[in-house]
Structure 1
Amino acid sequence: MKNYVAFTGLIGAVGCFLLGPSICHATENGGTVWPLGVQTVLPAILPALGETSLYSYTAYYKADSFKDNRGDSAIPGFKLENFVQAVRIVHTWDVTFDNGVTLSSGVIGSANKIKVDAFGSSDTDSGFQELYLTPLYVGYSPSENLHLQTGFGAFVPLGNYDGSKLANSPTGNASYTQEFDLTWFPHPNWEVSVAPTFTINAKNDNTDYRSGNVFNIDYLLGYRLQSNPKVQLGLVGYYTKQVTDDHFDHGDVEDGNRLRKFAIGPQVFYAFDQTSGVALKWMKETSVRNGPKGDSLWLEFAFPL
């Protein structure tokens, strides 16, 4: 199946206006624009030359606690539910190179419905979230068993962010993300994939808060059943670490409020053919610092246009 790339941040907002800058941990509200764990299905493989594919991403994230820098609960009564739907179109240009390099472009749009409980209050919001513009991916396959890819993209927020609200559907800041993907088949039945990303966040002008830059790596160890090669069972997840401090124009941000997470879980993938398929996965977060701790459930489709 083709590449499953980011569409938007899964983790929703907890308003800094209500909680105060000391609780806006690790990237504003403990969230990321990059959807953690999205790149677990052949991340380094995009459509073939001259072809276009459509991708659908449906995700549900639920958290029952918000962790501080020591891993303790930071927000009384905190609960978060976020339902996200995104659609992506990717085209690989019919341009050939002697060294096997390919060029692709794409765009992703997302919407969500989010509910946040904190300090005895509750708020919901729904609507468009962001566009993720990916003007250029460069792919390289030195062999049939090894595929490499890199690309850059920009997250453009949609809708109006309100810093006085407890829940916001749109993100409040633009971001730049550099992607690196590797998919390796050491054996016809085995797949090893890793997908590191580095995200640079711009300031949220609505709250005067700038989230630190974030490194994330999604991973997959997958095995295709010998009895039915269309079915792959996998172990998937992500490791996330914020590498620079948050900044707030109107005061200090204690300890830099750096986000950290690790998640792991199962994935089942079924390939209809060489260009389409469906994946179902569940990931549980652990070792969380300065952010929500929860689980995510994903359903992803890909098929050619």
Structure 2
Amino acid sequence: MDPENDSPGQSGTLYIVATPIGNLEDMSPRATAILSRVSVIAAEDTRHSGRLLQYLGVRKPMVALHDHNERDKAGLVLDRLAASQDVALISDAGTPLISDPGYVLVREARARGFRVSPVPGACALVAALSAAGLPTDRFLFEGFLPSRQGARKAALERLSGESATLVFYESPHRIVETVREIERVMGGERELVLARELTKTFETFYAGPVGRVRESLEADPHGSRGEFVVMIHGASAEELTAGSVEVDRVLALLLTELPVKKAAKLAAELTGSSKNELYQRALELKAG
């Protein structure tokens, strides 16, 4: 029995279909076949996806489903599923829901008991990691960092003590300033890899200590073009030990003048560490 063919009377299936992030030849035969047979395709941008469908020779009705209308449009897609129609969800590039719309729809479809089936394919963060030469046994995907400088700095400070490889996306007009901020927060020697324009003609990897990567990026006339995946080596054991010692020193000083709760709150603001974790550590220091 073909699990992708529903029996008459059953509700439809919502297929989460990955599309190419650059090279159109990365579209899988299965993904193309499913797009060819569903009743409707929910796309982040119908004009953008229309070009892909034209390349694939697929002619299907489309409905726009993006960040600004997902809650309103999800009901239309769910009605199709209830009427035993299969629907495909695609984003502009890569795997839907990975920093792309679809969460509201998928969650509601599952809540109503509809079948939701992934159709794997391209994903920028996985493609970048596979070729970066950084540890992949543990990684933390942060999506996009905050656009405001203060919030971005705070986010990087919070992540600076994380031992897993850090991965996030960045836009071309912010990439240089983001790398400069990484250097200011984590130092110029932390290993950094930038992947730009993955699978496209001008695919580029910048790799090395943060300071050297920044210099390469600033010297490259194309360095502020295209979409980026940013990958940072996790904090070393030495950095973690030094950070722990510094946190304890800050807490100990604050505890001489402040109650535990206020000391933990202020220490969190100063070090970027978790307030709850610092509260527990402050209790330990106070007790012993």
TM-score, with structure 1 as normaliser: 0.22
Looking at secondary structure, tell me which structure has more helix per residue.
2
Higher relative contact order (CA 8 A, sep 6+): 1
TM-score, with structure 2 as normaliser: 0.22
Larger Rg belongs to: 2
